[in-house]
């Protein structure tokens, strides 16, 4: 008995199931989704094996061949993900750098040293007004009354840190 005698027993329906199953696995590999295509592809392959195999040894050989094909496909996909077309689609190769004019937040370093008035109570966060411009500010833990004079001592990105202006 030939080990690959099951190939002779494959009919049209089983061949269609195998081809559809493999195609669905390829679709799942290149267009990842919720796994519906991959799970359906595996199910079609298993049904094709069950319909084709005449005994357990044939089913075992077919499963091994299937695993080999899936492993080869995984290697091709991993290679493509690292160097090929898939890597150009999945990996963002450009960066939004400050030198290129991109900024995640406004540059507030020029505000350091400006004096204004606390529009709200700062405990420690609140609103301050500086030359007619309202800004969200934070004190360094100190409670600052509404209407108090405040001064911007530093900025950390969007965070503007203030302290009360000492009288006299």
* 125-161 pLDDT per residue, tens: 999 999 999 999 999 878 999 999 999 999 988 899 9
Nearest alpha carbon to residue 122 among 106, 140, 110: 140
The whole model's pTM is what? 0.42
| DSSP-derived 3-state class of residue 157 | coil
Element at 153 (helix H, strand E) = strand 149-156
Q: What angle do CA 76, 82, 83 make, to 5 degrees?
A: 85
Residue 134 and residue 87 in contact, taking contact as beta carbons nearer than 8 Å? no
Q: Which of 3-7, 43-47, 136-140, 148-152 is predicted with the least confidence, judged by mean pLDDT? A: 3-7
Domain regions of the chain by residue span: 5-90, 109-164
The whole-angstrom separation of Cα 86 and Cα 30 is 8
Q: What is the pLDDT of residues 48-79, one digit of tens each?
A: 888 887 788 888 888 888 888 778 877 877 77
Which residues on neighbouring strands pair with residue 136, listed in sequence order? Answer: 127
CATH of 109-164, one of 3.40.50.1000, 2.40.50.140, 3.20.20.210, 3.40.50.2300: 2.40.50.140
Residue 77: CB partners within 8 Å, gap ≥ 6?
29, 30, 86
């Amino acid at each position: 008995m030939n080990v690959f005698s099951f190939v002779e027993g494959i009919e049209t329906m089983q061949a269609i199931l195998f081809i559809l199953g493999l195609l669905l696995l390829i679709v799942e590999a290149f267009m990842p989704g919720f796994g519906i295509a991959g799970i359906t592809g595996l199910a079609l392959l298993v049904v094709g094996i069950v319909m084709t195999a005449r005994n357990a040894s044939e089913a075992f050989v077919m499963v091994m061949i299937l695993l080999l094909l899936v492993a080869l496909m995984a290697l091709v996909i991993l290679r493509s993900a690292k160097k090929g077309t898939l890597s150009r689609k999945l990996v963002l190769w450009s960066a939004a750098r400050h030198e290129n004019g991109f900024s995640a937040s406004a540059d507030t370093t020029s505000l350091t040293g400006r004096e204004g008035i606390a529009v709200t109570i700062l405990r420690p966060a609140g609103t301050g007004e500086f030359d007619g411009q309202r800004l969200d500010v934070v004190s360094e833990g100190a409670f600052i009354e509404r209407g108090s004079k405040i001064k911007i001592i530093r900025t950390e990105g969007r965070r503007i840190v203030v302290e009360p202006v000492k009288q006299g």
